A and B are shown apart, each in its own frame.
Chain A
Amino acid sequence: MDLNIAGIRLDVTEDGYLTDVSQWNKDIGLEIAKNEGIEMTDRHWEVVSWLQEQVKNDVALSIRGIKKSGVLDIKEFYALFPKGPLKISTKIAGVPKPKSCI
């Protein structure tokens, strides 16, 4: 599948995750957030950069990991990205959908 954002053709998975993190930029993040009904604030971007950093360092993302992150607590995570915070925030960050699902 591919997706057209701001005139750029992007490869995405069936549920809309970028397949190539290097294609990501802030405009793309903004556009994905809009589709998810989320208005990005500075705090949202901080969390997004932190997620990207974690993925770069091969840290598996999980709700438990958020609890221990020291960056934000789970309540705030839900407040920023309601309903499925981990799924939505990773989509905006352009990183793969976490698979804590074995």
Chain B
Amino acid sequence: MKNLIILGAGTSGTMMANHLVSKLPKKDWSITIIDQYKTHYYQPGFLFLPFDTYTEDQVKKVGKKFIPKGVNYIQKKIDKILPVDNQVVLEDETLDYDLLIIATGSKIVPEETEGLLGPLWKKDIFDFYTFEGALALRNKLREWDGGKLVIHITEMPIKCPVAPLEFAFLADSYFTKKGMRDKVEITYVTPLSGAFTKPTCSKSLSYLLSEKGIHMEADFAIERVDNEKKEIVDYGDKTIPFDLLVTVPTNMGDELIERSGLGDDLNFIPTHKHTLQSIEHENIFVIGDATNVPASKAGSVAHFQAETLTDNILLYIKGYTLKEEFDGHANCFIETGNNKALLIDFNYNTEPVHGTFPFPKIGPLKLLKESIFNHWGKLAFRWIYWNMLLKGIAIPFVSRNMSFKGKIFDIKRN
């Protein structure tokens, strides 16, 4: 009997368990998934919690519900991976593996920025990348009477790179609805040169910021937070004052990766960007936010990766060459406020373009254009996530690799 171990029961790990349980021969392989946490969060929902659009119950469920029968589910803390010995050390036992899938994700590390965890943390400074942070921010927004709202990204890469921008758009809507938009000055601060991470998006969508009266500060590399003066300071001594700071702290892979000596500077694991095999160890595969591949850290990306990775694991077990198939495909809804959203579809080499999705000319979703239908798509996605995505059910008509059908290449790239 051989052992396949999956580390992490988040979006990626859960999907892999569901894919593999029906495909690996049961008489030869035992599948184990390990995660110390009992709750599975719908992380895209964290964006809506602060604005009272979603309730707590809509974004969390018991993780066990999504682990299929036939998979051994261990709820223990993982101490480290011993890649040379093919072992995983847990808090009170050591397990042997023949094949390992690392799906330990990424998380915020506010400690990386001086002064971020100072006296203003959770008073006037918040994150919305954790359940607790998003809830604390919701409570703050309910009673906030206005002032300078600064929405800030510390450094790239971050999970769901468009989320902070969506937050800015939704904040504009939220304060407008509350009748206090004139009391709130919104500033969007990014270490990048433009609001969007993709140049074609910045070109075709920058009107959104001016339309909503959102001021932008680009190329801002934060050095520290000055809690006394209530401002953020960058390495060039530029300062931006705030009354309420909503920040996306540095994102890093799990400390377990550092303890195991498997990661880069940010604890992300060097991974082959088309096969998802670890660069250093051939019987270790990596998926989702835990990799260092130059794709967005997002659930849709993990979903497409899971399909390629499943095939590659079966090929690897049989001794065949792996498919160099994964193309960095991402498919993301971007909330723009006022019940509208955008949809973007892109991969490693092709930037987001105009067109219709998933059917050429028909849509019904429009790429890179605001529409109410796209917003419904985003809201429907919560149902798709819990009922299809985690279970490894393919989303109809959406293929793992980016399709060029129905796409219009009318934006010049740099």
Contacts and interface: CB of A to CB of B under 8 A. Distances in A.
A101 interface: yes
Nearest to B238: A83
Contacts of B193: 84, 87, 101
Interface string B151-171: 000011100010000000000
Contacts of A85: 235-236
A65 B156 contact: no
B219 A63 contact: no
Interface of B: 155-157, 161, 191-193, 197-198, 219, 221, 223, 235-237, 265-266, 294-296, 414
Interface SS of chain A: loop
Contacts of A83: 219, 236
A102 B295 contact: yes
Interface string A38-75: 00000000000000000000000011110010000011
A78 B414 contact: no
14 contacts: A14-B414, A63-B155, A63-B221, A64-B155, A64-B265, A64-B266, A65-B265, A77-B235, A84-B193, A85-B236, A87-B193, A100-B191, A102-B157, A102-B295
Contacts of B294: 102
Interface in A71-98: 74-75, 77-78, 82-85, 87
Interface of A: 13-15, 62-65, 68, 74-75, 77-78, 82-85, 87, 100-102
A96 B295 CA distance: 19
B296 A78 contact: no
Given A64-B155, A101-B198, 12 more contacts: A14-B414, A63-B155, A63-B191, A64-B266, A74-B221, A74-B235, A78-B235, A87-B219, A100-B192, A101-B156, A101-B192, A102-B156
